[in-house]
Amino acid sequence: MGELRLGWLSDVLGDSPTLKLSGQAKALLAAGEPVVNLTAGEPDFPTPRPICDAALKALEDGHIGYTAAAGTPELRQRVAEYYAERMGVPIKSSEVIVSNGAKQVLYNALSVLLNQGDEVAVPVPYWVTYPAQITALRARMIPVIPTQPGWKITPEDLERAGAGRAKALIFNTPSNPSGAVYTRAELEDLADYFRKTSFFILTDEIYEDLVYTDEGHVPLMTLAPDLRHRIVTVSGLSKSYAMTGWRVGFGIADEKTVSAMTRLQSHSTSNVNTIAQMASLVAFDCRDEVETMSRAFKHRRDVLVEEMSGIPGLEFTVPDGAFYLLADIRGLLAEDRQVGGCMRLAEHLLAAEKVAVVPGEPFGVPNHLRLSYADSEDTLREAGVRFKRALETFGG
């Protein structure tokens, strides 16, 4: 009898590089190795106490059964009210879906929007999950390369890439991995371009509270409410509220799209963990804690920038949001050894100095490294010392 073969998807999808590398770093730490882990897209703060207390109360009150697939009516209403105020547009609870993190919101949305062979425009650099999900749905990615410094695309970049033929655009601000944050003026220019197209816009705003500019985060929906029938806003509690493991993400879209996403979710995962949903009802009352964490991330950014500045051959744009620094390492590589340079340096940093970072290749930017500053000031300063020491023995 012949060997049973898995389906095509088993051959084309790899592990999430960020989760894999973070897992390796955690395993080394657990084994007693003195690893400095700069891979994690995960706050090191505890979840705010009121949220934890609400989870305990939910258990004590017996909230252990299934909920509606799209989330409890109370949580969907709370999300609708919060984002209606934040965005300045009316939002009904029927326009909200609660999913297992922003990742499931994205997958649900792409699943109901795309047909096989459709194209999705994705600005470079991108979160590693975007191309993986597009591939899983038998669609194709159109990379949109920014031509200006700072990792932000313009209407001209979209036009040059042929984005107008796409079925959807995935748009991320603040950005993982670059930390780029689009200004109101930049978003207005893009919205004018979007009005000339017919594609759906999936706007990933999961880092919306981690912005370090005076202007802050500007939601696309605020500037382009006339496009709301084509916008799917993706957010959640993982990053800003230090709730990565709770798995609570939100999708906001028109009723038709949310209804389709809900039907899909009802046949895949059903509802998000009931206790996490009950606890999330109080999350939006924890804005003081969110602002405290955001200020801490800004300080940590400044610490890492200070440590990395002045290293000959290392270049980067100071990030305005999220908690990542994307560093260009081409100046650290020999001219004849540019290919695979980010993988070699990442391996050398871990082997020589126990510093774990993420190579830029999976983000669409070879010869870059992503460094997370979601850790303490002491850890970041130690990372700087070790990084510089590792370069002394790196052969390029």
Separation CA 151–CA 319 (nearest Å): 10
Q: Start-end ranges of CATH 3.90.1150.10 in the chain?
A: 9-46+288-391
Topology of 9-46+288-391 in CATH?
Answer: Aspartate Aminotransferase, domain 1 (3.90.1150)
Separation CA 73–CA 82 (nearest Å): 14
Q: Which residues of 141-164 are buried (b: 16+ CB within 10 A; e: fewer)?
A: bbebebeeeebbbbbebbeebebe
CATH architecture type of domain 49-286: 3-Layer(aba) Sandwich (3.40)
SS3 of 328-396: the string is ECHHHCCHHHCCCHHHHHHHHHHHHHCEECEECHHHCCCCEEEEECCCCHHHHHHHHHHHHHHHCCCCC
Neighbour count for residue 312 (Cβ, 10 Å): 7
pLDDT value for 18 = 65
- Bridge partners, residue 372, by sequence: 324
Residue type, 25: A
pLDDT value for 90 = 98
Q: Start-end ranges of CATH 3.40.640.10 in the chain?
A: 49-286
The closest of 208, 186, 202, 203 to 322, measured between CA atoms, is 208
- Decide: helix, strand or coil at residue 231: strand
What single-letter DSSP state applies at residue 245?
A: G
pLDDT value for 40 = 82
pLDDT value for 1 = 58
Strands 315-316 and 324-328: antiparallel
Residue 209 structure tokens: 């509270």
Separation CA 293–CA 323 (nearest Å): 11
Contact between 146 and 123 (Cβ < 8 Å): yes
Residues of the chain below pLDDT 50: none
Q: What is the dihedral of CA 346, 349, 352, 355, to 10 degrees?
A: -120
Tens of pLDDT, residue by residue over 259-301, are 999 999 999 999 999 999 999 999 999 999 999 999 999 999 9
Tens of pLDDT, residue by residue over 333-391, are 888 787 888 889 998 999 899 999 999 999 999 999 999 999 999 999 999 999 999 99
